[in-house]
């Protein structure tokens, strides 16, 4: 066995084999995979192994397309062909118009990735799958690339190709420990000896946290028992003359696919069960859980109603195996938070279908630093310190119970809530707040006009439209108050603080005390990595502020690049909360609660100072995400309620109204302000994103050389603002821009601008089609809607209001 290699992959299922193979494809051939037992002996071997192209965002569609293309190539390998039933087709059923709208949106989104889905009515669903009834059925989504694959031969084929490229695979080699050295390299201790390596990759399936514990981390992954059975032959299948399409049914929580001349039928029962939370026996390998068909009786009854032929057929065998889940159902693929040269590819609940793509994207991140797609939707750092065992289990159960029911816009499911709150959470609830969740934080989304107010979840504008309009109107005409909790806040101190920030930010990072600036950080490819508000406090410290979701992501990036600089980084994220006071009367409220001079001359736009709000100490910044005169009031959590009471009381004389996150979202669209990981992604550079004014090429910064190279090559896309003719629904992220029947761009954000009376969207389009007044069409829920390119910031484009 080798004692030195470049990377060690731990785990020999689809995740590990795909990563090993793709590392060799990206140029790293001196790599090793270690497996405690035999390849595929964990969750892979018993997988139902469905391979769909369906995904709820473009990254997932892209990686699934890669899987399908790779699996076709492996199927056609004359030396080692893999059994792959590709192109049987698959139908996702629906019995509500809201579900059908979702399918129409996903079809629009997938088209931008070169994937064509088809919307079917109930009769066409039955024509393509003659075993189903159309009772209580509206229609479905057709994926022509759907199919299934043999798990064992797939993994063996990937391992075989990796070996041919120079990789080595060690079976029956248990990892007993991990040690990280001072140079951030690793020693992988095994039962057969130690292997020194630059990079270690956790691909351990349901044993993920056994290996995680060896490096002092916990991963939010838990296992669920999952049962399927295989039927005897069904006459209708043999008589059909073609393979049956795959079926996924959110109405009755089951799926099925053809297995010989019978069906493999799997269940997502409501009475589901977690597994292994108190530890896993070392002897559990290539094993299953005891059958428990009583648990799936309710689901089985629904399957009988949808497919009456099932009532006339016997069961050959039953499988009760394991599926790993994360908090949101999507896997964790990428850097392990807080660790260097450590990666994971875990929580792959649809591992066989997606594993080829996940390993592809992870290998790119390991070798090149980024993947070809923005991978935030699968990034392990999207969950932070709240992601404990109990929360993971509750969310896994909830996601399992809703396996085929996608999240609607503004739908926030209840399991595990609340997990992160502030002293104001119960106060906001008493005021009628409907809450959204941001990195675990309960944040007011809007304030209900009556206690029984509710909305209908769907893809159209909902009943909260007028409520949000009222909140926006208060901010525009008087004054509004909002709590923005969880905002990422990193204190940077040390003699080289400004030198460090100048190195990290691609523009001018202001060093003037008492001033605030906005900056963008690039990755090594010259594309957008992070957006930050940099505040130079009068005491000499600097606050780096960014989106709540970026807490661990940005800390990792800053820490990784702080070597060689005399600086210290300290997170204040969980100790402070922002109260936003916005509107033309905001200054009057500030004068009523603070002895400081809040005049324009004494505290101009982009200023920061220490102050007292009533009796509560605060750091106040004159910045605005709403486009109105506004103050960000940062308050320690233990005195947040006192500051809130002071502002609320003083604001009563000025028509103060509470507002929530949906009003903020609507207002930022009118101002041309961008959202991290919606409009600001790693696939595009600052010039493509319209941030030219924030780039200074006369200085050095991370990513400059790559940015210059991209500049020479020219723009590939350009971010534009759009005015839509549609009035009933917004453009949702991922929707395709069309021109003469061809996709020319993709929507990143969309919302109604209440102050300008426009349905607005941002989209990346081909640069030659980015000129103002260019007319496109957007596919919104299956309908082509006119969308005209407009100047950014249709509301107060000269930024006169925030300056006061």
Q: What is the pLDDT of residues 712-755, one digit of tens each?
A: 999 999 999 999 999 999 999 999 999 999 999 999 999 999 99
Indicate if the pLDDT at residue 232 is higher than 90.
yes
How many other CB atoms are found less than 10 A from the CB of residue 522?
23
pTM given for the model: 0.97
Q: What is the mean pLDDT of residues 27-46?
A: 94
Percentage of the chain lying above the pLDDT 70 cut: 100
Rounded to whole angstroms, the Cα distance separating 549 from 382 reads 6
Q: What is the pLDDT of residues 395-417, one digit of tens each?
A: 999 999 999 999 999 999 999 99
- Angle, to 10 degrees, between the axis of helix 14-25 and the axis of helix 151-164? 30
pLDDT at site 351: 85
pLDDT at site 681: 98
Q: What is the mean pLDDT of residues 426-441?
A: 98
Indicate if the pLDDT at residue 45 is higher than 90.
no
pLDDT at site 731: 98
50 bridge partner residues: 148
Q: What is the pLDDT of residues 340-385, one digit of tens each?
A: 999 999 999 988 999 999 999 999 999 999 999 999 999 999 999 9
* Tokens, residue 757: 């009376």
Q: What is the pLDDT of residues 651-698, one digit of tens each?
A: 999 999 999 999 999 999 999 999 999 999 999 999 999 999 999 999
Q: What is the pLDDT of residues 747-785, one digit of tens each?
A: 999 999 999 999 999 999 999 999 999 999 999 999 999
* Helix ranges, 387-464 (H): 389-401, 425-430
φ and ψ at residue 304, rounded to 5 degrees: -60, -40
Q: Are 320 and 272 in contact (CB under 8 A)?
A: no
Q: Are 9 and 32 in contact (CB under 8 A)?
A: yes
pLDDT at site 509: 86
Q: What is the mean pLDDT of residues 463-470?
A: 98
Indicate if the pLDDT at residue 238 is higher than 90.
no
Q: Are 231 and 314 in contact (CB under 8 A)?
A: yes
pLDDT at site 3: 97
Q: What is the pLDDT of residues 88-112, one digit of tens each?
A: 999 999 999 999 999 999 999 999 9
pLDDT averaged over every residue in the chain: 97
pLDDT at site 608: 98
């Amino acid at each position: 066995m080798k004692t030195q290699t470049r990377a060690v992959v731990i785990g020999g299922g689809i995740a590990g084999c795909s990563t090993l193979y793709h590392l060799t494809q990206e140029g790293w051939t001196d790599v090793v995979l270690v497996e405690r037992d035999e390849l595929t002996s964990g969750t892979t071997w018993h997988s139902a192994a469905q391979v769909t192209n369906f995904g709820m965002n473009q990254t997932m569609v892209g990686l699934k397309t890669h899987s399908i293309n790779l699996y076709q190539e492996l199927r056609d390998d004359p030396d080692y062909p893999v059994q792959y039933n590709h192109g049987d087709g698959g139908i996702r059923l629906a019995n509500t118009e809201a579900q059908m709208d979702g399918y129409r949106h996903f079809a629009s989104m997938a088209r931008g990735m070169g994937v064509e889905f088809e919307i079917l009515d109930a009769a066409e669903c039955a024509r393509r799958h003659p075993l189903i009834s159309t009772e209580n059925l509206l229609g479905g989504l057709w994926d022509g690339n759907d199919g299934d694959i043999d798990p064992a031969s797939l993994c063996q084929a990937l391992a075989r190709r990796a070996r041919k490229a120079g990789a080595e695979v060690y079976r029956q080699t248990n990892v007993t420990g991990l040690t990280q050295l001072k140079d951030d390299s690793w020693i992988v201790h095994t039962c057969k000896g130690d292997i020194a390596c630059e990079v270690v990759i956790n691909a351990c399936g349901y044993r993920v946290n056994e290996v995680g514990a060896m490096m002092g981390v916990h991963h939010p992954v838990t296992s669920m028992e999952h049962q399927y059975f295989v039927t005897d032959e069904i006459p209708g299948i043999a008589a059909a003359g073609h393979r049956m399409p795959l079926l996924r049914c959110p109405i009755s929580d089951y799926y099925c696919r053809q297995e010989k001349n019978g069906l493999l039928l799997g269940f997502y029962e409501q009475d589901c069960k977690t597994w292994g939370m108190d530890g896993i026996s070392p002897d559990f390998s290539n094993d299953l859980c005891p059958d428990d068909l009583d648990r799936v009786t309710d689901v089985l009854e629904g399957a009988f109603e949808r497919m009456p032929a099932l009532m006339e057929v016997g069961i050959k065998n039953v499988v009760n195996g394991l599926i790993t889940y994360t908090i949101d159902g999507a896997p964790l693929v990428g850097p392990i938070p807080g660790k260097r040269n450590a990666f994971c590819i875990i929580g792959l609940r649809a591992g066989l279908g997606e594993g080829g793509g996940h390993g592809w994207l992870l290998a790119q991140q390991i070798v090149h630093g980024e993947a070809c797609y923005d991978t935030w939707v699968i990034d392990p750092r999207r969950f932070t310190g709240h992601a404990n065992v109990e929360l993971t289990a509750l969310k896994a159960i909830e996601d399992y119970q809703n396996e085929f029911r996608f999240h609607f816009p503004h739908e926030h499911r209840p399991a595990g809530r609340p997990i992160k709150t502030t002293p104001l959470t119960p106060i906001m609830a008493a005021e009628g707040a409907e809450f959204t969740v941001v990195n675990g934080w309960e944040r007011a989304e809007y304030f209900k006009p009556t206690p029984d107010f509710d909305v209908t979840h769907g893809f159209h504008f909902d009943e909260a439209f007028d409520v949000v309009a009222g909140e926006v109107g208060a901010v525009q005409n008087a004054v509004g108050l909002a709590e923005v909790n969880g905002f990422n806040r990193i204190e940077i101190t040390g003699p080289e603080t400004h030198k460090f920030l100048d190195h990290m930010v691609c523009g001018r990072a202001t060093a003037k005390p008492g001033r605030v600036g906005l900056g963008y950080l690039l990755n090594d490819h010259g594309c957008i990595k992070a957006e930050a508000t940099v505040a130079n406090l009068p005491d000499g410290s600097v606050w780096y502020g960014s989106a709540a979701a970026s807490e661990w992501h940005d800390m990792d990036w800053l820490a990784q690049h702080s070597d060689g600089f005399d600086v210290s980084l300290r997170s204040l994220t969980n100790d402070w909360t922002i109260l936003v006071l916005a509107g033309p009367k905001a200054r009057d409220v500030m004068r009523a609660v603070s002895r400081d001079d809040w005049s324009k001359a004494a505290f101009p736009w982009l200023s920061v100072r220490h102050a007292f709000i009533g009796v509560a100490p605060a750091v106040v910044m004159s910045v605005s995400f709403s486009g109105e005169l506004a103050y960000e009031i940062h308050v320690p959590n233990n005195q947040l309620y006192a500051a809130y009471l002071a502002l609320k009381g003083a604001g009563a004389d000025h028509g103060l109204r509470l507002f929530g996150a949906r009003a903020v979202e609507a207002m930022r669209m009118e101002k041309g302000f961008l959202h991290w990981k919606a409009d600001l992604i790693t696939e595009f550079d600052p010039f493509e994103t319209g941030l030219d004014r924030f780039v200074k090429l006369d200085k050095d910064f991370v990513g400059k050389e790559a940015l210059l190279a991209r500049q020479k090559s020219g723009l590939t896309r350009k971010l534009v603002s759009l005015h839509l003719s549609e009035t009933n629904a917004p453009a949702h992220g991922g929707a395709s821009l069309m021109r003469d029947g061809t996709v020319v761009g993709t929507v990143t954000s969309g919302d109604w601008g209440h102050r300008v009376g426009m349905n607005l969207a941002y989209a990346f389009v081909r640069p030659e089609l980015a000129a103002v007044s260019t007319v496109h069409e957007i596919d919104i829920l299956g309908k082509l809607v006119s969308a005209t390119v407009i100047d950014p910031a249709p509301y107060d484009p000269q930024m006169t209001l925030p300056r006061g």
